[in-house]
Structure 1
């Protein structure tokens, strides 16, 4: 079994830290690099380790411009209470896939919270 497949199995078993370790081996072996980076970042997100996920997502974006990568980067910044950066990445994700209703919802929620804070 290759590293990527093994890491995916661990991810599906919710063994996120173990999956991260194997995804790192897949990345070192240049095995499905962008997907391995993305999946490792998602594992960090599942572990609520948003600051660890951010640089990995940025590396994944360097290898592939995928709306999901930008969406999850926006999500990390939203969870870290940085709505400006979150909005940038959610907008980028939506620009890449304007059928993604989750992006639209996230953007609208950030804008609503911003408007609510101004009116207080």
Structure 2
């Protein structure tokens, strides 16, 4: 993932990060850590990153902070794979659908999602990494 893809014109990374947040593959605290890390490495830096470093509002408010709704580059199955990442991390998503088996199958079918996740959130350790 390109850490600089966080603008309205090039939103693939911020779109992926927001999708991870909505799928519960990352927490709000991990979003804040990601934003802080990117803030230190991207120049010029979009102003929204400063606000994301302290974002704690309801998830639907994140688009107000970002200033736009990032386009979705992920297919429905790839979004399901993100839910699979939540399950692998030991997080039980709020929504019952997709179920654990479907989410893990989607993750197995889309290994690039895990690779993108690890590249985007290198500070997150998985249970099997410990």
**Do both proteins adopt the same fold according to a TM-score greater than 0.5, normalized to the shorter chain?**
no
Higher RCO (C-alpha 8 Å, min separation 6): 2
Q: Give the structure-2-normalised TM-score.
A: 0.29
Where is the helix percentage greater, Structure 1 or Structure 2?
1
